[in-house]
Structures are given as structure tokens and as C-alpha cells.
Chains A and B, each alone.
Chain A
Amino acid sequence: MAEQTEQAEKTTVTITVDGRQVEAQPGELVIAAAERHGVYIPRFCYHPRMRSVGMCRMCVVEIDSGRGPALQPACMLPVAEGMTVDTQSAKSKKVQDGVLEFLLINHPLDCPVCDKGGECPLQDQTLAFGPGESRFVEEKRHFAKPIAISELVYLDRERCILCDRCTRFANEVAGDPLISFIDRGNHTQINTFPDEPFASYFSGNTVQICPVGALLAKPYRFRARPWDLDQVESTCTSCSVGCRIALQSSSNRLVRKLGVDVDPVNWGWLCDKGRFDFEAINSDDRLGAPLVRQGEELAQASWAEALARATEALDRAGRRPGRESIAVLGGARLGNEDAYAWSKLARTVLGTDSVDAQLGDGLPAQAVLGLPRATIDAACGADTIVLLGPDLKEELPVLYLRLRDAVVNRGAKLVELSPVETGMTRYATASLRYRPGEAAQLVRSLLELRTGDDRGNGAADPRRQAAELLRADSVVCVLGRPSLAEAPEPVCEAAAALVDALPGISFLSALRRANVHGALDMGLAPGLLPGRVSLEKGRRWFSREWGSLPSEPGLDATGILEAAANGRVACLVLLGADPLADFPDRDLARRALAGAGSVIAVDSFLTDSARQADVVLAASSFGEKSGTTTNLEGRVSRLHQKVTAPGTARADWMIAAELAFRLGGDLGLDSLEAVWDEIERLAPSHQGITRERLSSPEGFDGIVVGDVPDASDHQAPPSMAQSDSPGISGVAGHVKVDTLASTGMGSEARPDPQSGDQPAGAPEALGQAATVTGPRGMGYTEGEEPGAGAEAEAVEATVEAEHGSGGGEDVFRPSGGGGDQGTTPQRPPLLSWAGPGTTRPPPPRDRYSLRLVSSRRLYDDGTLVHHSPSLAPLAAGAHLRVHPGDLQPLGVSSGTRVGITSSRGRAVLEAVTDPGVPQGTVFVAFNQPGSAASGLIDVGQPVTEVRLETTPQDGDPGSGG
């Protein structure tokens, strides 16, 4: 490799910057190349994540491209061999002086009361590059100020320097061109269109990238001075995208979240919910102390008292026979360490496997963890992106930005399969509707079309277009839960059909909840243990350190709630879970809470469900504890504490350790670091992801947990694993980092002296190594003795391929376990995708019924939004969205309140016609203030059939009934 590099032709461009020769990348802009080499050329409009416009003229410097020095904007000009840049010449200096003077003549200079004062590029660059005084003696330009351009953003047009950053962001990045220049010349201003607010889910980004104090976030305005702020870097946990952030506080109060630019994830952007929902952390409604039930009331109690009550309930329940006597619901809000501690507590001390981090609103853990996984970069780099999931703009907004960019700017083709139109629909080459419950039929029909010979005349038929796009070399499927009103099985079935038909396909999970992927990785799902191994295959490995484990898999969320409703759960633990609000079937959730012997809630807020509890243990929240979180790619990144929790609220892992201790056990976890070290040591998928790596520069972007599907359990040939997936290896520019990271134990971490036949560092080679890692080669199945004997050779070969260390590294050595490798259990195989389980067919179509579709909006009645004063009013409320053709038979118009009835319940909602909802389908947003969606859904049915009826209108008692 090294020789090749030396022989290869020069791949860089040599330019001279201020007399110094530097190497730049071909195509790199002068401003970026200079900055990389330590020469900062001042700028306002230039932003590396947006198209250059060269309009503020701040970066104009003398550049000689061979025809003599000329003043040129460094943000527009790509480097060229031999170019000379002089940022210090008299002419360059005069331009800088001049432009800054121009920018300041109409600027109000009200820095003392400006949020930006102290962190303002206009201030800083005036100091560094500008004139010391102004020669402007005329009247300054005046505008009314500030004006609210949305519910979250104020605009001060006097401060604005018209750099076009916010407008470009809104137009190019967010796809919400709701702000624009209006008027011209000196009267040019940014504004919205009349009566059209800047209602973008991404509006806060414009505040962050504004180089002056022209755009202000309402939640931050006048709250702090920048020099009073203290900050840590962390990861946003508002959803599962895992955007990197700077978390800022003043006087022990969170005041701001800023996006941090990391290549593989958020590029510096945040959604407004993620940016502003820290308000909930500061809420007066936070629980600062435990509560215990005294009759009808929940009363504040000491930790000792509350823990004693909880211990008593658990202890009593634990002595009851039956696998479901204790159940733990929730955990997606928790950090990885918290989830691990609770997973260990449940399996060991509590002796239950009935744990589920998902609330019936996701997909089976086996699908999430077992399907071949893709990173965001891999999805964005694929030729074809298949979207079979929720409305990404509503649920995973920054993933929406990334995929939108892939489609708009990189030419990726999107095939959307959804029951109703979504925010992604306009970017899809082919957007196909399926009737709730019939996703698999649609996918199979596309796959049939794909393999069919008849390709002709398909240009106008979206089904044929979609089928054609499925022939692409690289296909990544973004897989989630399109609707909470239909069972997850058809989606899994559709995924299975894709896996069988498209050997190279990989999947990017679109489950929404903050750390749901981390919670699943930590084993918070029935039949699952930490490190992506099944209970049965990981039993030997874990029981050695953990002691005895539950003998058989427990219940999932629906099973837990059904059992509780039937009085078979003696103690239900709600781990930051609010099933009354979040479980799709509210009737079942209500019966479950009523039927459970006792309920222990571990939460930061007194949610509707927690109000029903016997004991409420106050948990610390995001920003109040450190640890790690895992995003939808399986990327582990760090969380940092910034403020102290209210009152005596504690981290969830501490509560788990304390309960274990009081129940006579010992989790052996006495610090956050100890928890992670145990995860790294025991969880098979997390081996090698050390704390050192996580806190190194490599960990800055997060480290993707190696996802190695165990193909031995699946009929598909080995080639279906990632190694042959061009979807991953084809992402030029991004692949290196991610492939290295995605193996979990990349060549950097574990040098591989024996793999000389594979070029080290090549993505394919690493992919290959990942393919043969452990599981399939191990041939280890439940009940068999692994390792020694006949299989030794196979094991050794496999292990060598990965580590080249004779298998020693792969062997578990518990502390004090000695070196007796012959009797030590092998690291268990990772979970694999075994295809969908049995699916319930949807009922035959009924011409009088409509099928319900329900999914979340960004702003809903969820805990964080509800307790964030700036965001709560943005929840639109519940409406019934229905195709005009389905409303017309009722004889009512859009805006009329109509009755909606399912087998579970009835609601009256305002009907809004929406051609994006196909006929035969209705849409009701989930968990909106006043929403009835979960009151209509019966999780016992594969789909939710509803009927509409007119209701008596005001002053019209005669109509409908």
C-alpha cells in the first residue's frame, strides 16, 4: 500500500497562502483550504454545509490564478495548482475594512442587549479585521423589531446583515422555503410571506447559524450572556438519530442546545424539538423526590421509605410462581448503562425475562438487531432507498434532512411505501400507498415485477418505477413502524421478502424512541441478553458471571399488559414508561395498570401512568447524568452531565443497584465506569468499544456497534451479509470511518498480523472479516458443548480471520475464572434474523369500514413536549384526516366534527380532508392533546377498522346520531 502511494501521482493541489506553500484537496474552496492550514479568512455568508453564494464579500482577498492578483471571494473559488492567495495584502485588508464598515453602518450596535453579544462573528471579525471607527454620520435604517416569524423564532431586521444563511438553510437544507429576501437595495430584508409563518421543524438552526443577533430563539432570548454559559458536548436524546450537541447551562440551569457538526450523523443540524425540549428538564413539574401511595394519594417520601416499599412489592411478587409475576416495561429513555443495570437486575435478582423497552410501538427486537444494518451514510449513499416506516420528517427529523439531501443533492432514488403520504413523499421517485396490514403484499408484488421480463412501458407507472429501482446495485431499506394502528408483523414480513430477494440489502432502523436501540442492545426485550444475543444462546456466557437466568423467554409489552390486565402480574415496573399515553391500545394499558398487583414507576415526571403507581422513584434526566446512548445506526456516543438533578432524583442505574442490594443481591456495579466496563467485557457485540475509544477523537462521532447477523439460522447464503453489500462499501468518502467502526473491532483496535492476504483497511476486507466473525463459524447452539473437540479447528480458523490471535482474545475470562479455556464458554453468537413470525392476515375488505392509520407528529402530547412551554402550544391537536371521497358520502364538509368508532371505542374529531390519505383509510395523529387514537386501537387485531358517522352539530340536534 505504501509503495503504491509513493508511486501514485500527486493527488493534492499545491497553493501558496500568505507566502506559505500548502497542500489542498482538488475541488476544495480556497477559504476551506486556507482554514485547514491555519489561515482564517473572515466570512459571514459562507457555511461549509451549504452552497456558497459569495455575497457578503467578507472573504474577498487577492488571489492570483496565473493572470495577476485579483480580488476574488475565497468562498467561491476552488483551489488550482500554483494559485497564490494573499490575505494580508494592502488591497485585501482594504476590502476587509470596507466590507465591515459597510456592514456596520446600518447595524444598530445594540450589543449590550443582544443575545449574540460575546459570541458574535460580527463583533469578533470587526475586532480582528475591521476599522476601529465608523465614518457614517447619516441616519441608520430602521425596522420594527423584533418580529416573530414563527412560534419559536424572532427576527431583528436591523441587526441582519443579509448573509442569506437562514434563507439558504430553509430552502436548500430543510426544504421549507418560508423565509426570503424581500424589497431591495438598502431596504432589503428577510421576512416571511404574508400570513405564512416560518413554521419549519428546523427553524432553530437558522438561529444557530445566524452570524449576528438577527434571529433569536424565544426559549433563549435574554436568558443568558454567552460568557456566563458553561457547556459540555453530549448527544441529543429527543429521538434516536443521536445528533451531537453542545449542551449549555447558566447557573445550573439548561439554557441552550446547539448542534455540533459530525460527518456521519447530523452535520450540525438539530430539529426544533430536540433543540428546545430541554425546557422540560427545567420544568417545575419534575420529580425531585420519591412518592409513595397513601390511600388515594401519592405522597412525597424519603428514598429509604420508597425503596423499602418497592423492595417489599418486588419481594412479595418474586415469591409468586409464574414467569410473569414481575415485569419491567420501558427503558428507551435510559442511557445504555442504566438499561444494562436494569436488564441485569431483572434477569438476576428479579428473575424475570418479561422486560420490554418498546411499548408495542416498534418492531420485534430480532428484526431491529438481527437484520443486516446500515448506517445513515450507507443509506444516503445507496442507489435506492426504500422507505417502509413512519413519516421521518415527523419522527426522525434530522434523518429526514440527511435522506432529503441524498435525494436532492446526490441523486439517490427513494421508493416510499406507506399507508398515507408523508413529508418524504415529495422526494420519492416512486411513492406507493398500501392498505394498512398489506405492506408485505405490496413488497412482494414489486419484487415480482422486478424479476419479471416485461420492462416495457413502465416509465409512468410508479410500481414499475419502484420495481426498476429495486434492481439497483445498492439498496438500503429504512425500516420502522409506519402506523401504530396496524400490527408490526406485515412490516417484518415485507422486510423478510426484501432480504430474500435482494442479497445486498441492509436496513436502517427508524424506531423513534431516544435510546431504544441501546436498550435493546442491553437486552431490554424478552428473550434477549445484553450484546445482541438471545437468552438461550447467551445463557452459558452470562450465567457464569450473572448467576442463574430465567429459564424461558418472557413476555413483550403487549404480553405484559395482557397478563397484568388478567391479574397475573404481581409487580409491574414502569421504567420511564407511560403506557397510558404511549401504548397503542389505551384500553389494554388502563386495564393492565388496574390489574397489576402493584406498580413501581421510575420516572422524571408524574405521568398519567405514574399516577397509578404505588411507588414512584424520581429519576434524573437527560443533562443530569453522564453515560452513553446508542442511536438508530447502533452508534454509541457519550452523554455528559451538565446540571444537577432536582431534589434527590437519581440515575436509573443507581436505583437498579440499590434495589438489588435491598433484595439481597449485588449487581456489582458501583460506578458508571464500572457499568460500561462490564458491558464492554460481557456484551458480545460491544467488545472492543472501550471507554478509552469512546472518549478518543474516534469516539467523537460515536462508534457503531458491529452488527453481524447470524446467518446460520437463516436459509440465505452467507453472501447476504454485509460483505457483499455495495450499499455499504460504495459510500465513497464516508465508508472508511463507518466500516472500521461498524466492525466494532476494526483493524485499528486489534491489529491483524495474520491477514496478509487481505489488504488491511480496505472496506471489503473488513466487511469480510465481519462476515466470518464468530457466530456462524462457531456453530454454537443451545445445548451443545462449544469450543473444544471436533469444532476446534473451525473455531480457530474463524477467530484467526478476525483477530489473528489464535482465538485467545475471543475467549471469555471472567475475573477469577482462571485460564481454563477448555471449559470456559465461548462468546455467544449475535442475534440473527430468523424471518418474521406468524402473521395474522388482515380481515377482508369491508366497504363500510375504513382502516385507521396513526403515527406521531413531531409536536405531540409526549412528556418532553408537554412540559416544554415553547413547544407544547405547537401540538396541532387531534384531527381526522380523510380523503374527500370518504367524507362526501357523510354529506359533511371539511372542518365538521364527525364520530369515529372502532371495536375498541368511539371518538368525535374534526374531519379535515386530505388527498394524501387514500380512500378507504383515515389518519389520526397519535398522542395529540385530546387525541383518541390509542382509544381506538385494539392491539389484538392486525388492523384497526373504523366507521365514520355524522354527529349532532351545534344548534342542529337533528342530524346524525
Chain B
Amino acid sequence: MAVSDRSPIVTTRFERGDAHTLEGYLATGGYAGLRKALAMTPDEVIEQVKAANLQGRGGAGFPAGAKWSFLPKDVFPRYFVVNGDESEPGTCKDRPLMERDPHQLIEGLLISCYAVRASQAFIYVRGEMALAQERLAIALNGAYAAGYIGKDILGSGWSLDVILHWGAGAYIVGEETALIESLEGQRGMPRLKPPYFPAAKGLYMQPTVVNNVETLSYIPWVMQHGGEAYAAIGTEKATGLRLFALSGHVRRPGVYEVEMGTTTFRDLVEAPVYGGGMRHGNKLKAFVPGGASAPWFYPEQLDLPLDSSVVGPAGSMLGSGAVVIMDETTCAVRAAWRLVRFFAHESCGKCTPCREGASWIEKILRRIEKGNGREEDLDLLLDVGDNISPGPFPRPAVDGEEAVPFPYKQTTICPLGPSTVSPVHSSILRFRDEYRIHIKEGGCPYG
């Protein structure tokens, strides 16, 4: 087992008790990256981030530097928004970054705003994350008082205001256009892309960058050590380190900062420094490789590396970095139902297929799990899913069938609709017999 011994980057201060304070942050080299950036031109900063090939950590995995370059030239004001609305089931890696090292995020944000000449910055924090909100608020006030934010930052002549905004508890607001709607005071519902690509028509219809908390937290290190140093970590297509939230039936669930590309799912599950193996020594049944929206993988996919360029063609995604492990004691139907129930509950209600379809699927799954399933329900589930996400649906290569690469197609505005289909499709694909048993025996064999 070749687990990398790379020292961590964004979690280095996690074990310090005072990393969330300005003193603690400064004592560990804080804001040096900002000073370095302010000595450069904004374009030079962008070059460093591009050289780092720092892939976005929100789910889509788009390189941050490239994302910034989509901003139309000379259109101002332009805004920078931090997406801290982490709510994907299984994902809990942005939360410790905000709670334990808020200044790292703020410094990354400041450098990024300087680079893209943003007029104003917003940090949108999930409504339920009270500690993160509190610590960010204190950190922002401290940074203002110390001259890192506000007018004439560190005597550079450059000024920026950062606004902290709390969400109201909607999963969909993690989707960037819905987040922008919410930030504008509207109901959080996604906008259609095109035409509402944030880089062109974002917050208040102005050019806007939306970056994930984790993405920005890597920026101070990139500034201090240079983009190439970061790009040298991992493999060519999967650069750097990344946080993975490992949960489910492993011995050591937790958030781990892992080297990309060289680490595999098996490493993550079995390495003593990570998952430490399956719970009770049980057998792996299936796992979600990248958040609840992702099509499931099975034991055959364990040796795939943590590399989007491999996982995508293999039929799923790394998504938000949540790996959920299900062992042999898991009821596939109940697992699918549980996941679908979340999406049905969180559907914003904007587009018909997701609003109506998700709750329909949820009702069918519940009926099957409760023992009132019908033989025809399986085809019905797949066809209702097909009306939300027209097939073929992404899937790994199993049982002699070829993989269908990610991403999914959709009749909806945003991917929440297809996310509902993932667990249905994944569970029926491999565990159709379990469904049949539910239907035939009129209930769940797992009790």
C-alpha cells in the first residue's frame, strides 16, 4: 500500500487550539501569502494559480485559474463569492476549514480578489454552521482591525470589503447560481446556464467568481510556494492535495487531506492513517465516490485512483470529496430511498421533472421498502428517472457491461434532478435482486 507521506497543506493548523484566532494564524505564517501577492501584479497572481492547476473543490472540479479567466475584460464591478454552503450528504470538509482556520480562507479570498480585481467579496456560509459563522465573523473583524481587509490593505492602496452572509438551510443554495439568487435576497433557486453563467451574468447581473471554501484555502500556500510547487504534487492530471470526507462503514471515518492521483479508493478505505479498513471486517458492498449525487461504485472500482480524469470516464465523479462506504449489512433499497428522500426534500421546486419526479421516486421506493412494491415498479423507477435524466445514465463497468462516462444529461436546470436518479440507477444496476426480494416477500430482508 503506497500511501503518500506528503505533509498536509490546509489542515496543518487543525490540531492547534488557537488557529482560528488572528494571533494563532499569524504565529504560523499567516498572511504572508497576501503580502507576497500584493507585491505582484494581479495578472502575475493569476499566472501562479494557473500554474498550480488548482482544481475547484466544490464538485465540478474546474481549475480555479481558468475559471477566473472567464470574466469579461474591463466589466466592473465584479464580485467574488465564497461558496461555504456545504450540504451534500457525506461532505463535511469545508466546515472544519471555516471553523478551525478561518483566516486561511480569508487570506485565500483576499489574494483571489486582488488577482481578479473584484470590487467586493461575499462569504456565504451554510445556515446550520453556527460555529463557522461565529469564527468567520470574529476572524473578519480581526482582519479588518489589523488592516488585512478594508481600505488601503497593508498600505498597498488596494481596498476590499468582505461581507459575511448566512444561509437559511437549503441544500440547493450550494449550487452557485442558486447561491447568487439567495445572496440577492431572492428565494434560492438555480438560474439557467446559459445565459446566467456567473462569470458573465452573476451577482446583480455582474461578472462574478464563485469559488469553494477549500479551493480558496489552498491559495495562500500556492502564493507562498509558487504554483509549480503545488502542481508538482500528485499526478499530472490530478494535482495537489485534497480533503476527502470518509464516512460510513469504515473503522476510522473522518476528513483526510490526501494526495491526488497517487492515492486510490482502496488506500482511503484501508490505510491505517485513513479509514483503517472496513467496520467489523465486513465486506464492502458499494460506495459513493463523490457525494450523494454521484453514481455508486462497487468493489471492482476500489483500485481506481482519486483522479477526476479517471473517475469520470469510469462512470462517476469525485464531486465534493465525500466517500460513503456501505458494507454487506446495508439494504440497497433503503440506502437508495434514504438518499432520494434527501433530494426530494431539498428539490427547490423550480423545474417540473425534479420537483414532481423526485418525490414520485421517493414514494415508490418507500412503498417497495415497506413491502408494497410491484414487479413493474423497477421499470417505472428507471423510466421516471429517465424523464429527469435522459439515458444512458452514467455507470461503472460491471457485469460485463461497459462504463457510461460521467456527466449525466438532464431535463432540469441544475443537477439536483439527476442526483435523485443516481441512487436509484446505481442500486437497481447491481442489486435488482434485492428489489425483487422486497417485492416478493413484502418487506425488507434486512429488517
Contact = CB atoms under 8 A, between A and B. Distances in A.
Interface of A: 53-58, 60, 70-71, 73, 76-77, 91, 94-95, 97-99, 101-103, 105-106, 135-136, 138-139, 161-162, 180-181, 183-188
The 10 A-B pairs at the shortest CB distance, nearest first, are namely A98-B387, A188-B349, A186-B359, A102-B356, A185-B347, A138-B363, A54-B192, A55-B350, A184-B349, A102-B352
Contact of A101 (B194, B344, B351, B387): B387
Contacts of A184: 170, 172, 345-349
B349 A105 contact: no
A102 B417 CA distance: 13
A103 B352 contact: yes
B447 interface: no
Contacts of A138: 360, 363-364, 367
Contact of B355 (A70, A77, A135, A186): A186
B358 A186 contact: yes
B353 A57 contact: yes
A98 B353 contact: yes
Interface of B: 170, 172, 187, 189, 192, 194-195, 344-353, 355-360, 363-364, 367, 380, 384, 386-388, 390, 409-413
Given A91-B390, A103-B352, 4 more contacts: A57-B351, A94-B386, A99-B411, A181-B189
A54 B353 CA distance: 12
A57 B411 contact: yes
B387 A71 contact: no
B29 to A, nearest CB: 44
Most buried by A among B187, B349, B359, B390: B349
Contact of B192 (A76, A94, A181): A76
Contacts of B170: 184
A98 B380 contact: no
Given A55-B350, A71-B411, A102-B352, A94 B359 contact: no
Nearest to A186: B359
Contact of B352 (A76, A99, A185, A187): A99
Contact of A73 (B192, B348, B380): B192
Nearest to A135: B380
Contact of A186 (B172, B347, B409, B413): B347
6 contacts: A57-B351, A58-B352, A99-B352, A102-B360, A184-B345, A186-B355
Most buried by B among A53, A99, A106, A186: A186
Given A95-B387, A185-B358, A60 B413 contact: no
Contacts of B386: 94, 98
Contacts of B195: 76
Contacts of B388: 98
A56 B355 CA distance: 10
B409 A71 contact: yes
A76 B194 CA distance: 8
Contacts of B387: 94-95, 97-99, 101-102
A162 B353 contact: no
A162 B364 CA distance: 23
Contacts of B355: 102, 162, 185-186, 188
A94 B409 CA distance: 14
A856 to B, nearest CB: 35
Given A73-B192, A95-B387, A102 B358 contact: no
A89 to B, nearest CB: 11
Contacts of A180: 187
A183 B192 CA distance: 21
A185 B411 contact: no
A732 B344 CA distance: 48
Nearest to B354: A185
Nearest to A58: B352
Nearest to A182: B187
Nearest to A139: B363
Contacts of B360: 102, 105, 136, 138
Contact of A103 (B194, B356, B359): B356
Most buried by A among B194, B353, B367: B353
Contacts of B187: 180-181
Most buried by A among B355, B390, B409: B355
Nearest to B193: A76
Contacts of B350: 53, 55
Contacts of A103: 352, 356
A95 B413 contact: no
Contacts of A183: 349
Contacts of A187: 349
A105 B356 contact: yes
B413 A162 contact: no
B380 to A, nearest CB: 6
B411 A60 contact: yes
Contacts of A102: 352-353, 355-357, 360, 387
Contact of B413 (A54, A106, A135): A54
A854 B326 CA distance: 75
Contact of B353 (A70, A99, A106): A99
A53 B348 CA distance: 14
Contact of A185 (B345, B353, B390): B345
B390 A57 contact: no
A75 to B, nearest CB: 10
A101 B352 CA distance: 10
A71 B390 contact: yes
A94 B344 CA distance: 22
Contact of A56 (B347, B352, B409): B352
A77 B351 CA distance: 17
Contacts of B411: 57, 60, 71, 95, 98-99
A247 to B, nearest CB: 34
Contacts of A60: 411
A218 B126 CA distance: 43
Nearest to B376: A135
Contacts of A106: 356
A181 B359 CA distance: 18
Given A101-B387, A102-B387, A136-B360, A185 B349 contact: yes
Contacts of B358: 185-186
Given A95-B387, A95-B411, A102-B357, A161 B349 contact: no
A942 to B, nearest CB: 47
A45 to B, nearest CB: 9
A211 B20 CA distance: 54
A582 B393 CA distance: 71
A31 B437 CA distance: 47
A138 B358 CA distance: 13
B360 to A, nearest CB: 6
Contacts of A162: 349, 352, 355
A53 B350 CA distance: 9
B339 to A, nearest CB: 15
A801 B327 CA distance: 93
Given A71-B390, A102-B387, A186-B347, A55 B356 contact: no
B224 to A, nearest CB: 41
A58 to B, nearest CB: 7
Contacts of B172: 184
Nearest to A187: B349
Contacts of B344: 185-186
A138 B356 CA distance: 12
Contacts of A54: 192, 413
A460 B410 CA distance: 50
Given A71-B390, A102-B353, A138-B367, A185 B380 contact: no
A121 to B, nearest CB: 14
Contacts of B409: 70-71
Contacts of A101: 387
Nearest to A189: B349
Contacts of B412: 57
B353 to A, nearest CB: 6
A161 B352 CA distance: 8
A259 B349 CA distance: 30
A870 B114 CA distance: 60
Contact of A55 (B352, B359, B390): B352
